[in-house]
Structure 1
Amino acid sequence: MKKVLILALAISVWSCNESKKEEAMSIKVENAGVLASGDSVKVYTLKNVAGMEVSIMDLGGTIIKWTAPDKEGKFADITLGSNTPEDYLTSTKYLGALIGRFGNRIAKGKFSLDGNDYTLAVNNGPNALHGGLKGFNAVIWNATPIEGAEPGLKLTYLSKDGEEGYPGNLNVEVVYTLKADNSLSIDYTATTDKNTVVNLTNHAYFNLKGEGQGDILDHEIVLNADKFLPTDAGLIPTGELKPVAGTPFDFTTSHLIGERINDTKDIDIKLGGGYDHCWVFTDQSNKLKSVAMVTEPVSGRTMEVLTTEPAVQFYTGNFLNGTATGKSGVKYERRYGFCLETQHFPDAPNQAAFPTTVLKPGETYKTTTVYKFGVKK
């Protein structure tokens, strides 16, 4: 009888533990509101066994919340964002969103492919930026939760032939997976029925002190990149791959973001208003490799970036100007967040010397980027 009771108790404890594990690894679905267009928006919150949470809207595949622990184990939201879905189409445009078809800029909104000239929607002075007037950040994606030990969310979208001026019907799939080691993997896949150009990324703005907690100039950063792309006044690459050595763009060893950001004697800093440039990784393989490490010394939070991509746009929130109010009620002033947008080179469709961004029928566009959080004691 005693053995039966002990066995029953053991089964009860096991069941309770399994229930707690399932609760710890969860996906919660909530209604986020209704857009002016009448479209309903949902939010999917992924939670891992360590307590990290990532909330993603189907509008733009946008990361609207991302919590990470500090050196004392206290969690804080470390991404910028807004309180309403509509704001993500206006005042906080691009924050946390998926970017496509083409992340970054294409000069004059034009390119030629296979002898055909294409004119894109222009939305950044004379240039096309982040997919156009209604890029992937502004559409509602089909969302499918992925249950399991590491919760995920699969997002799909069909970008039709001619959308924003781009050729071909492009089928896109993005999978977010929140892992037990406090990393978020973003896997991008796309296919087309006509030759086209593709450059997908995510535009999360980070502040490892916590969202709304001041600027990011005291963050330390390392970039495993020995070259960067100088630009003209419109932030279009000149075509040169310039060595970072001896410039304010050398982050091959750790530097504070704010250490040289105002060095306007440097023409590239002056034109960018700080850092808003594409760094070219020393390792140009398409394998998953560690390319960046950011540390916030007070909280101890660290963020490592791994990617299969050849470059990253490091942007320091130079155009934030206090007009947008964040989700905590704080106005986002200049340099209140930084971005590390893994990608191919800006304006690649117009620059033959850059790695190609052309995708053809029968091929599969496939890239992975991982953001992994830790703490430095």
Structure 2
Amino acid sequence: MNTVKRSFLNCGLLILALAFVQCKNENKETQTLDEDATKVDQEVLKEDFGTTPDGEQVEQYTLRNENGMEVNIITYGGRITSLTAPDAEGNYEDVVLGFNSLEQYLEDNPFFGALIGRFGNRIANGKFSLDGEEYTLAQNDGQNHLHGGEKGFDKVIWTVEEAGPRMLKLSYVSEDMEEGYPGKLETIVTYTLNDDNSLDVDYEATTDKKTVVNLTQHAYFNLSGDFSESILDHEIKINADQYLPVTENLIPTGELQDVANTAFDFREPKEAGKDIEASNEQLQRAGGYDHNWVLNEQDSGMRFAASAYHPASGRFMEVHTTEPGIQFYSGNFLDGTLPLQYGEGNYEKRSGFCLETQHYPDSPNQENFPSVILEPGDTYTSKTSFKFSVK
């Protein structure tokens, strides 16, 4: 009798053990498939950042290098929400303007930290033509089309293709005629944080129909680490002998004007605020700097484009790029209505600046500008690096 009971007991235990192993193996297989699908490294710091009104989950990823520098990026708009960099005494502070919640990013804001596409900057009258066919875009900046339209790349959820402790690869598929642009555009953007304290941003895009592409990153910087302070004391240098004057609607006139003996000469480091209030028609039209500079050495691949230095903290940022132009924007339209990410108060006028590497504004309508046309079978590529140090 006892022998029979023991046999049944042993048999039952064996069945339970086999079931447990089978269940464990199934879970392991599922986990492996999930990991292979997104290639998320086990050491990656990932957290929920909120849910959109449509029920889409937004995640935040943290990149960290061996020096302790950190970059936070959310999948909504591929936005950099914070970037900590050391000052001359080794103190790490956030130097990128942002918000604490998804709700604030979902509300109307000036593209804080966002990936911009399909076309960064302005297109006159929201129109352009390709092969004799006219395409109409949203006029979301007065008469102009700005930064990809009403729902540009800054307002979509990007898919995480791969994530590691120091890199994040995102993708987004923009369908044919989305925001008025022809062609199904498949875009990949990779953020890489290196141990030399540089953040690389690599862009790739392909299309199934002739289209225009101009991608950029719209981070606002304040190297002081105190976003209640103005950026007018930052020393800016831009590697450009020419810039693009604009009309009253901030569209390039088509002229490439020499910077020599003008308020736009940043060939040597100069405080952003030195000439910003000068009696200059161009500055008055934009309320400060909001212009594109024609970078030197355009055919030499990755090269120095610009730098910013904050003397009080010692923080120094260099920008290198493959792009032909850079938009220096001095935060003229920050109006004191958006809450600071840290502490009390709001983002006031000129509490952040942008150095947006890109092709020239309104390029689809100006034949003398470098082409932004992407053909089927070709791959759009671009790279920009932001390197942080002290001096």
TM (norm. structure 2) is 0.88
The question of whether the paired residues in 1 share the 8 Å contact of 2:222 and 2:351 is answered with yes
Aligned residues: 349
Q: 1:225 aligned to 2:240?
A: yes
Quote the Cα distance in structure 2 between the aligned partners of 1:194 and 1:43. 33
| 1:17-96 equivalences in 2 (<5 Å) | 27-96=44-113
Quote the Cα distance in structure 2 between the aligned partners of 1:253 and 1:26. 42
- Give every structure 1 segment of 4 or more consecutive aligned residues whose post-TM-superposition deviation is greater than 3 Å: none
Compute the displacement of 1:26 (Å).
5.2
The question of whether the paired residues in 2 share the 8 Å contact of 1:87 and 1:93 is answered with no
Quote the Cα distance in structure 2 between the aligned partners of 1:37 and 1:238. 41
Quote the Cα distance in structure 2 between the aligned partners of 1:171 and 1:91. 26
| 1:1-377 equivalences in 2 (<5 Å) | 27-147=44-164, 151-263=166-278, 265-285=279-299, 287-328=301-342, 329-376=344-391
1:258 aligned counterpart, secondary structure: coil
Q: 1:55 is matched by which residue type in structure 2?
A: N
Compute the displacement of 1:83 (Å).
1.3
Quote the Cα distance in structure 1 between the aligned partners of 2:231 and 2:299. 30
1:108 aligned counterpart, secondary structure: helix
Q: Which residue of 2 aligns with 1:3?
A: none
The question of whether the paired residues in 1 share the 8 Å contact of 2:228 and 2:346 is answered with no
1:319 aligned counterpart, secondary structure: coil
Q: 2:151 is matched by which residue type in structure 1?
A: K
The question of whether the paired residues in 2 share the 8 Å contact of 1:221 and 1:255 is answered with yes
Q: 2:69 is matched by which residue type in structure 1?
A: M
Compute the displacement of 1:144 (Å).
3.2
Quote the Cα distance in structure 2 between the aligned partners of 1:206 and 1:69. 14
Quote the Cα distance in structure 2 between the aligned partners of 1:197 and 1:355. 12
The question of whether the paired residues in 2 share the 8 Å contact of 1:26 and 1:47 is answered with no
Where does structure 2 lack aligned partners over 5 or more consecutive residues? 1-41
Compute the displacement of 1:211 (Å).
4.5
Deviates more, 1:321-330 or 1:191-200: 321-330
Compute the displacement of 1:327 (Å).
1.1
Quote the Cα distance in structure 2 between the aligned partners of 1:70 and 1:81. 20
Compute the displacement of 1:272 (Å).
1.1
Tell me which structure has the larger Cα radius of gyration: 2
Deviates more, 1:342-351 or 1:279-288: 279-288
Where does structure 1 lack aligned partners over 5 or more consecutive residues? 1-24
Quote the Cα distance in structure 2 between the aligned partners of 1:36 and 1:330. 27
Compute the displacement of 1:286 (Å).
5.1
Q: 1:236 is matched by which residue type in structure 2?
A: I
The question of whether the paired residues in 2 share the 8 Å contact of 1:228 and 1:249 is answered with yes
CA RMSD of aligned residues (A): 1.2
The question of whether the paired residues in 1 share the 8 Å contact of 2:228 and 2:347 is answered with no
Percentage of pairs with the same residue: 54
Quote the Cα distance in structure 2 between the aligned partners of 1:184 and 1:250. 27
Change over 3 Å in CA distance of 1:104–1:211 after alignment to 2 = farther
Compute the displacement of 1:84 (Å).
1.2
The question of whether the paired residues in 1 share the 8 Å contact of 2:228 and 2:348 is answered with no
